[in-house]
Amino acid sequence: MKVRNDLRNIAIIAHVDHGKTTLVDQLLRQSGTFRENEQVAERALDSNDLERERGITILAKNTAIEYKGTTINILDTPGHADFGGEVERIMKMVDGVLLVVDAYEGCMPQTRFVLKKALEQNLTPIVVVNKIDREFARPEEVVDEVLELFIELDANDDQLEFPVIYASAINGTASTDPTKQDENMEALFDAIIEHIPAPVDNSSEPLQFQVALLDYNDYVGRIGIGRIFRGEMKVGQQVALMKLDGSVKHFRVTKMFGFKGLKRLEIEQEKAGDLVAVSGMEDINVGETVCPVDHQEALPVLRIDEPTLQMTFLVNNSPFAGREGKYVTARKIEERLHEQLQTDVSLRVEPTDSPDKWIVSGRGELHLSILIENMRREGYELQVSKPEVIVKEIDGVLCEPVERVQVDVPEEYTGPVMESLGARKGEMVDMINNGNGQVRLIFMVPSRGLIGYTTEFMSLTRGYGIINHSFDSYQPMQKGQVGGRRQGVLVSMETGKATSYGIQQVEDRGTIFVEPGTDVYAGMIVGEHNRENDLVVNICKVKQQTNIRSSTKEQTVGMKKARIMSLEEALEYLNDDEYCEVTPQSIRLRKKILDKNEREKAAKKKKLSSQS
């Protein structure tokens, strides 16, 4: 069998924050891809604003480097389970993976998730133990953990013989010896060339190209990025696009791009094994196959895990609607959601019986909150409901998504964490004491029990705990209420500006969410009540002026700091009868029914119907 020894295709996979993108940076730098004087940002592949701000990878990206006459195509994948749809598609485009594991943290829930995907595709692994220079690094134990994980995930004998490279991506060093580092990353480059299989060269056979990623460009429209599995492809060629619904469309390849470093270069022709971007097809989707008109043979469709969480998106109808946003109409919001569907295969958008409401389903809270954050930055105004898990009927049994949760906490907090997750129907499956005062707990918890849990977890562990979770499976639904917020809220009774005096009058009733001078409206949530019921308050109250000078006039009263929520915190905080109003400048929480009397009537009605 003929192979292309001048080419290797690899994906870099890891748990979030184990150093994938920093590692790619060093590989780019040390391969001589950049000119000596070229200015390159850190985490060069994380190019969009949200990725740079949060230090996470959201979209899979590809780049190519040259090393000793061999082209290495590298795909950097996200570490969060919410962007797992990106990881699944990438696995089809490569022949091997670099599994990056932190030398101190070891195997985490996402390590398990991404490795499972790689082993399912029968890819060749190389394990990179990164951050070897960290304090308390324990490389040998981490390698044992990785081996156990491989065995647990039913790796075959060849996969179990994985080579191990010890690296410090931040310092740009690597070696095969855990006790000392070489001056550069040659050990890693050599391991890629030696262990990752070269692609098969079947370029004399009829063309087969499958789209794994989508991009969009104002000049050329939709761009399909994928791998040529067979044959050759050139500009000007007439080809057939095998659609997912079984139909076939014909088109001409107008432009092709190859990858070099961070650049896309126009190319005329590529062959089996190459990763290319192709334009000329307006209506191309992920998983579709491009082949010759006279030899139509589709590749197996890419399987993408189904969404597990859904929210209702609706047009903003609050009293402040239209004040800050550029795009506020149902038509604009619907267009934007459909535009998102073109590049995000893990997302679903379904219409409802109302023209200004849509049910949007995704892989998790982060997945949906990133979409909302992008929309508000682009000038959209909208409202969203509390996230809900998607339940399915499997063999006549109602099932819900269950997540594998890994918690790392100092020993003294294990009791409260076990108690709080137990209350959310969590089941502990493992407990590991590393002997350094830190304990690792592993639970299986229904996804609905985790909605809103992060804030509680952070206050339970005083910020010292680390929690990670990823979707495990669908299991029979547990009875009764799981999780949810226990506290009631403080609701504004009138529209106006919040005053210092008004806030001082109610701050002993709970935690305030707004600062003096903030515009509020009747029905808007302005704080959390100390008790379980909701309380209507007048936060716009002004101190009565008198013409008698008070003896305490000059004294100033100290006010507690308002709790300002991020978008994720606001979404987690919501209850069933509340919306989160999102605009380019504000995130407000509100009751679905703004009028106090109407709200009380609806609550009574609900109580009566639940009793009957």
Using DSSP's 3-state secondary structure scheme, residue 140 falls into helix
CA gap 573, 568 in Å, rounded: 9
Cβ(149)–Cβ(101) below 8 Å: no
- Which pLDDT score is estimated for 53? 46
Q: How confident is the model at residue 83 (pLDDT cuts 50, 70, 90)?
A: low
**Count of Cβ atoms closer than 10 Å to residue 45 Cβ:** 22
Cα(497)–Cα(539) distance, integer angstroms: 8
Q: Is 543 annotated as a binding residue?
A: no
Q: Tell me: the pLDDT tens digits for 57-82? A: 334 456 788 888 888 888 877 655 55
In this model, does residue 458 exceed pLDDT 80?
A: no
Lowest mean pLDDT among 17-26, 115-124, 599-608: 17-26
Task: Name all domains of the chain by residue range, CATH numbers in brackets.
Answer: 7-195 (3.40.50.300), 208-292 (2.40.30.10), 392-476 (3.30.70.240), 489-611 (2.40.50.250)
**Pairing between β-strand 173-175 and β-strand 466-476 as defined by DSSP bridges:** unpaired
Element (H, E) at 248: strand 248-252
Mean pLDDT of 172-188: 84
Instruction: Tell me the average pLDDT of the chain.
Output: 81
**Is residue 132 marked as binding?**
yes
Structure tokens at 153: 């995930």
DSSP state of 557: P
Q: What is the pLDDT of residues 506-531, one digit of tens each?
A: 888 888 888 888 899 999 999 988 88
Pairing between strand 96-102 and 7-14? parallel
pLDDT for residue 48 is more than 50: no
Is pLDDT above 60 for 49? no
At 460 the pLDDT is 83
CA atoms in the 13 A half-sphere facing the CB of 124: 17
Contact 65, 33 (CB under 8 A): yes
Considering the chain, what percentage of its residues have pLDDT values greater than 90?
6
The answer on pLDDT for 553 being more than 70 is: no
Spatial separation of the C-alpha atoms in residues 154 and 145, rounded to whole Å: 14
Half-sphere exposure of 535 (CA within 13 A, CB side): 19
pLDDT the model gives residue 205: 86
The C-alpha atoms of residue 279 and residue 262 are separated, in whole angstroms, by 19
Q: What is the CA radius of gyration of the chain?
A: 27
The Cα–Cα gap between 318 and 379 comes to 17
Whole-model pTM: value is 0.73
Smallest Cα–Cα separation from 76: which of 30, 132, 7, 14? 14
pLDDT level of residue 54 (50, 70, 90 thresholds): very low
CA atoms within 13 A on the CB side of 277: 21
Backbone φ and ψ for 167, nearest 5 degrees, come out as -140, 160
CA distance 489 to 474: 33
Q: Which amino acid is at 213?
A: L
Place of tokens 């060849």: 158
Rounded average pLDDT over 233-248: 83
- Name the pLDDT band for 384 (thresholds 50, 70, 90): very high
**Pair 24, 74: CB distance under 8 Å:** yes
Q: Is 18 annotated as a binding residue?
A: yes
DSSP labels for 42-82? SSTT--SHHHHHHT---S-EEEEEEETTEEEEEEE---SGG
Q: Pick the residue with more confidence: 5 or 586?
A: 586
The pLDDT assigned to 82 comes to: 52
The answer to whether the Cα torsion of 41, 47, 52, 56 is positive or negative is negative
Beta strands (DSSP E) in 15-60 are none
- Cβ-Cβ contacts under 8 Å for 25 (sequence gap 6 or more): 40, 42, 43, 44, 45, 169
The stretch 150-174 carries a mean pLDDT of 86
| 17 marked ligand binding residue | yes
Contact call for residues 375 and 382 (beta carbons, < 8 A): yes
Is the Cβ–Cβ distance between 220 and 255 less than 8 Å?
yes
Residue 474 burial (10 A CB sphere; 0-12, 13-18, 19+): buried
10 Å Cβ neighbour count for 475? Answer: 14
Q: How far, in whole angstroms, is CA 236 from its chain's centroid?
A: 38
- Which DSSP helix (H) or strand (E) runs through 9? strand 7-14
Residue 592 to residue 241: CA distance in whole angstroms: 46
Tell me the average pLDDT across 28-35.
61
Model confidence band, residue 551 (pLDDT cutoffs 50, 70, 90): very low
Does the annotation list 131 as a binding residue?
yes
Q: What is the pLDDT of residues 254-303, one digit of tens each?
A: 888 887 766 677 888 888 888 888 877 777 777 788 888 888 888 887 76
As a three-state string, the secondary structure of 484-539 is: CCCCCEEEECCCEECCHHHHHHHHHHEEECCCCCCEECCCEEEEEECCCCCEEECC
* Average pLDDT over every residue of 26-49: 51
Residues facing 469 on adjacent strands: 405
Q: Does the pLDDT at position 594 exceed 80?
A: yes
pLDDT value, residue 453: 80
Residues ≥6 apart with Cβ < 8 Å to 466: 407, 408, 409
9 pLDDT higher than 70: yes
pLDDT digits (tens, 9 = 90+) for 302-352: 766 678 888 999 999 999 988 888 888 989 999 889 888 877 777 889 998
130 is in an annotated binding site: yes
DSSP-derived pairing of the beta strands 96-102 and 124-130: parallel
Do residues 13 and 113 lie in contact, with contact meaning Cβ atoms separated by under 8 Å? no
